[in-house]
Every structure is written in C-alpha cells, then in structure tokens.
C-alpha cells in the first residue's frame, strides 16, 4: 500500500552549504510558525555548540505540510566527522535534497553523503543554493554535480535528477537560475512530484529499525525510527531484537510523531511514519523493534569505523579538582559509555589503567566536540595526542587516507604544495574556480592532517578553505616529520608575571598572559628553536632604590598565542597532554618534573636507535 499523503526526505550537503537555513525557510513558508511568532535563525540547531560554530552535529527530525501532504524532514550534519549520523538517518527516508553551494560546487562531504544516498537507491533532488551570490556559477556547478553522480556510479534514474535553484536565506526558488519565484513553491512541488511515497504494509507484523536515540527528563529514553511495516500502538507488547541475537520482551509506552518542531503524542501510527517511542529502555541504535508474536529482525546499520584514537585520562596535574565537578575515573567512565549509546561512530575501551580510557572517533572535530560537551557539563580530564588507527590488511600495514580539498589564492599554491608534500600528500586534481582562486585536491594520510590546519591558515592568511573526508585504507606511506619547534616549559609553580613573560618571549612565542597560574612542567610557549627549554615565567623583578616595581608596567609584551581546544589537540606532541577543565585549557608535559622528562627522552632515543 502506498501512503500517498506522506513523504520522507533527508537534507544532505557539505558543511555550510545552507541545509539548516533551507529547513528554516521551509518551516516558515509551510505555516509551521504563526505569522507573528518570533523564531530564531537556524532553529534546527538546538545544541549550544551547533549555534556557536554554525554547524549541525546531531541529526534532527521535523515535518511540514504542503497541499495536504505531510513531509517528514531530517536535517543531517554536513561535517565528515559526523558521517555516522548521516549514514543511519538515511535509512529512514525515500529521497534526499542534495544542497550544493552555487559558487563552491561539490565538496568532499558532498561526495560522501551522496555516495551513501546512491548506495541506498534514494531518489535525489539537487538544490543549487546561494544563487544570489555575486560570484555564483550555476551552469558550471551543475556540470560538476553531474560528473560527481556519474563518478559515483548513479543509475539512469538517479542521473535524471531534477534541479531547483534557490536562495535559502531569502526563501526563494525557481527551476531556472534567472527565473526565481518569491517563495519555495517550486521546491515543494518537486518533492511531491519526484520523491516516492513510502510503500508499506500496515497489516503486516510490526517492524521498526532503531535509528536515533534521544532522552527526555520526564519520559526517559526515546527511540526514533521509521516504521517499516505494521502499526504501532501505545502500550503494545513488542520484542527488542538485540545485536547479539538476544530477543527481549518490552512494552511500548507513548507513541509520538513529528509535527513541525514538536513531538506530538498519538494513540497509534502507521507504517511509513517516522515515530518516537518511549518505554524501550534497553534499546540501542541498529536494533529492531518487532511484533511480539512474529518477530523478524532487520539488517543492522553498518557505520564506517573510527580512524582516530586518543586517551582520555583522569587529571593528575597540580591543579586537579580545582575547577571541575566530575573528576574521578568512575564519573568519566560513566559519561563515555553513556555517549556510545547514541554516538554510533565512537568507540570506548578500558585500558590496563583504571584512570585511562581509549576513545576512538571519526576525526579531531568528532572527538573535540565530545570533550567540549564534557567540560561544559563540569568534567575535568586530560587527553593525549590524537593518533591514527593502523590496520593490517592482507598482511600489509595500512593507514587511513583522507580526500582533502583546498580552495586557495593562486599566490599561496607553492607554499601549500610544499607543506603537503612533506606530509606525504598526493595531488589528484587542480581546477581554477575563478580568476584568482584555485582548488587543489589531494589524497593524504590522516596523520598528515594532524596539526596542518594552523599552518594552512597561516600560509593563506586566514582566507583559505580546507575540508576533508575519509577516502580508504592504503599501505603505510612512511614517516612524516613532526612539530619542528620545541616548547617553553614552566620552571616552577607560581603566578606568571610581566617581567617573567618578557624574558620568556625573547626565546619564542608565549601562550599565557600575566596573572595566569602555572605549575612546573606546564607548557607556556613555543621555542624559536627545535629543543624544549625551561623558563621562569613567575620571576619577579627585584626592587632596588634605583627602580620601583612599577617599572614592570613599561614592559612591552607581545600578545600571547591562545589555543582553542582543537588547536591544542593538533599542537601537542607525543610526550605532551592537554588538561581540560570547565574553565581552562592548559598544555603540559606528560612528565612534569625535569628528571622524569630527561629519562623519557633517553629511553625514546635508545628505542629509536
């Protein structure tokens, strides 16, 4: 049976190509909000970090009504590190809106999400967005999109995709770039015409694939997924078919469907609908909710494996426990294992030490978002340098390779090529995207990208755009040079002074300001040479009858280089850690006292010989 008045679509795109803004416009124009209702921009980005960074991290469900048809919409992340979110939500829909920037064209994540959609045989509609840009090049971008479809092995039906041109910010669209209406009606019409309605059997035994998990303070765990067949009722007895083959009896509590941005409670929901269910407290992503009398499991969701790993540790610095609420290994362990219930791309393992946990994810951003969320929740911890996950495939040592795209000015090409050459990158394509801008595409070992973003922004004066996505595992490419400069290490505990920092900045660049509390072994700057040196940033100028202590005010201190969490993770070396608390991000040596650092360096040197 076809549910003619229902459509399920996902919105997919590269980061910052306008997915969430388009959903905003669709919600407004479909009458979801009252005409006088005040609604913030990017209303779908509900997480604080999403709003601050302007990126979508978690997939979101909403719905609109257009011409008596309900359209369930899933807004997906655009960053490669959150590909696990994209992969599983595509299981809930029959079609996708592929949004592409009218100037940038297809980017690495465009390739990733489109590949997943085509593999699932989903029906695509292409939206060339930001058509109001002065540098828009819609004809060339459409050609690039067609080439991408062909490269990814789209079938004849998928290659015959409809195209709509839009400005999500203005809420306008049209079937030609120079013939835009004053609303999104052309887009809505294409959805109703081209996206197939779910074909389902509402009389068959119940079957639902758990795609997303949510949590509510009042009703507890909420299971989200599309009903594949049957009808679900409040209070119904069902079974939960676990990954390990275990069948567990359960009872559904409440049943919700999505209306606009709200979950609305209903007595029952038919197959084809995207629903949210309570009462299934032990459910995990990828498992099947099935009829109690005729249980039948669906295929488990397979998600690409993590490529990057790092150690999360209990903070043992001299400042441990000063700023955090949750500081013990038990609390950190509980939080990490709670995370993997909903974050399917993440792996957590215990280690030989009760204070150390090995956490693996899809990239630095994936892991840093977790860390940032933890510190905002009151956790205090320290983490090691990220490392790529090496595999042995058919007896050959292999490493993850990323597909990197760099949009840069022509005059920066030489320096970027030199940087990437040192990092074992292989250029696969170069195109001119304007008279002054070029696009370089590379395949590069994932470990070659650790610490690259800072150098990239320096060489492009902050104007370059880089993005990358996992490509494949390939044979190990050989050694890549590490950080070329040493660090300035605090000599003793105390409070940094202007006098001490003035002396330290003669040796390199400082990372802290006067008044910062420091401890022995804390990293306070970068040396201009390749070795680490100790400095006394807490040193005070002696007061004599010739000079008063006020003369310190005349010192000229350079602005310190302050690191964000991601920058700190990229910067540290193998023998260094990042200490993270709700109030501070500190760089430190793994071994704080001088003698332990010397022993570590000797052992490392003897092992390498």
CA distance 201 to 221: 28
Contact 108, 14 (CB under 8 A): yes
Binding residue per annotation — 21? yes
Contact 38, 201 (CB under 8 A): no
Contact 362, 389 (CB under 8 A): no
Cross-strand pairs, 349: 358
With H, G, I as helix, E, B as strand and everything else as coil, classify residue 140: helix
3-state secondary structure 152-186: CCCCHHHHCCCEEEEECCCCEEECECCECCCCCHH
Q: Which helix (H) or strand (E) holds 44?
A: none
Both tokens of 385, joined, read 């340098």
Q: Which helix (H) or strand (E) holds 376?
A: helix 364-376
Both tokens of 161, joined, read 């995709």
Please, what's the b/e burial string for 458-482 (b: 16 or more CB within 10 A of its CB; e: otherwise)? ebbeeebebbbbbbebeebbeeeee
Contact 117, 124 (CB under 8 A): yes
Binding residue per annotation — 116? no
* Burial status of residue 545 (CB atoms within 10 A of its CB: 0-12, 13-18, 19 or more): exposed
Binding residue per annotation — 19? yes
CA-closest candidate to residue 487, choices 454, 511, 514: 511
Binding residue per annotation — 17? yes
CB atoms within 10 A of CB 176: 11
Both tokens of 62, joined, read 């909403």
* Residue 145 CA: distances (Å) to CA of 11, 120, 588: 16, 19, 46
CA distance 343 to 212: 9
Binding residue per annotation — 20? yes
Both tokens of 7, joined, read 């459509």
Both tokens of 524, joined, read 């306070």
The residues, any chain, with a CB within 8 Å of residue 465's CB and separated by 6 or more, are: 104, 406, 407, 408
Both tokens of 132, joined, read 């109001």
Contact 210, 289 (CB under 8 A): yes
Binding residue per annotation — 129? yes
CA distance 403 to 363: 13
Annotated binding site for GTP: 16-21, 129-132
């Amino acid at each position: 049976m076809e549910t003619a008045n229902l459509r399920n679509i996902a919105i997919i795109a590269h980061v910052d190509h306008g997915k969430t803004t388009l959903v905003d416009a669709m919600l407004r124009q479909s009458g979801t909000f009252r005409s006088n209702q005040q609604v913030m921009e990017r209303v779908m980005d509900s997480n604080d970090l999403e709003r601050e960074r302007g990126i979508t991290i978690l997939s979101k469900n909403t719905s609109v009504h257009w011409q008596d048809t309900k359209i369930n919409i899933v807004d997906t992340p655009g960053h490669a590190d959150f590909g696990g979110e994209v992969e599983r939500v595509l299981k809930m829909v029959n079609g996708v809106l592929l949004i592409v920037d009218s100037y940038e064209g297809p980017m690495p994540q465009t390739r990733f999400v489109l590949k997943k959609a085509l593999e699932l045989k989903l029906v695509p509609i292409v939206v060339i967005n930001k058509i109001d840009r002065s540098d828009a090049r819609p004809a060339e971008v459409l050609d690039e999109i067609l080439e991408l479809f062909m490269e990814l092995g789209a079938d004849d039906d998928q290659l015959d995709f409809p195209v709509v041109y839009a400005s999500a910010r203005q809420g306008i669209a049209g079937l030609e770039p120079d013939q835009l209406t004053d609303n999104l009606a052309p887009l809505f019409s294409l959805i109703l015409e081209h996206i197939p309605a779910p074909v389902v059997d509402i009389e068959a035994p119940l079957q639902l694939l758990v795609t997303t998990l949510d949590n509510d303070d009042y009703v507890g765990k909420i299971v989200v997924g599309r009903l594949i067949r049957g009808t679900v009722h409040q209070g119904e007895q069902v079974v939960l078919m676990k990954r390990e083959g275990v069948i567990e009896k359960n009872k559904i509590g409440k049943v919700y469907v999505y209306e606009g941005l709200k979950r609305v409670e209903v007595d029952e929901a038919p197959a084809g609908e995207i629903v949210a269910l309570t009462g299934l407290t032990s459910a995990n992503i990828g498992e099947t909710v099935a009829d109690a009398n005729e249980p039948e499991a669906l295929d488990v969701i397979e998600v690409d494996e993590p490529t990057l790993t790092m150690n999360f540790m209990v903070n043992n610095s001299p400042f441990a426990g000063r700023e955090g609420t949750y500081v013990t290994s038990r609390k950190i362990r509980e939080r990490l294992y709670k995370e993997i219930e909903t974050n399917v791309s993440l792996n957590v393992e215990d280690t030989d030490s009760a204070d150390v946990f090995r956490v693996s994810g899809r990239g630095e951003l994936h892991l840093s978002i977790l860390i940032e969320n933890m510190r905002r929740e009151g956790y205090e911890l320290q983490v090691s340098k990220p490392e790529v996950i090496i595999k042995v495939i058919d007896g050959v040592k292999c490493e993850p390779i990323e597909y990197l795209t760099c949009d840069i000015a022509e005059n920066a090409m030489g320096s970027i090529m030199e940087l990437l050459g040192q990092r074992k990158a292989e250029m696969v394509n170069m195109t001119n995207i304007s008279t002054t801008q070029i696009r370089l595409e590379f395949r590069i070992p994932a470990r070659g990208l650790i610490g690259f973003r800072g150098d990239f922004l320096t060489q492009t004066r902050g104007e370059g755009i880089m993005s990358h996505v996992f490509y494949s595992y390939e044979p190990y490419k050989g050694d890549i040079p590490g950080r070329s400069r040493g660090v300035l290490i605090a000599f003793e505990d105390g409070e940094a002074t202007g006098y001490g920092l003035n002396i330290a900045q003669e040796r390199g660049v400082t990372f802290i300001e006067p008044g910062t509390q420091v401890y022995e072994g804390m990293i306070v700057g970068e040396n201009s040479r390749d070795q680490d040196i100790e400095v006394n940033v807490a040193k005070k100028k002696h007061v004599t009858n010739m000079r008063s202590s006020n003369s310190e005010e005349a010192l000229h201190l350079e602005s310190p280089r302050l690191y964000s969490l991601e920058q700190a993770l990229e910067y540290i070396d193998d023998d260094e850690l990042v200490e993270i608390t709700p109030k501070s991000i500190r760089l430190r040596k793994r071994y704080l006292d001088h003698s332990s650092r010397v022993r570590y360096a000797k052992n490392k040197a003897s092992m390498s010989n």
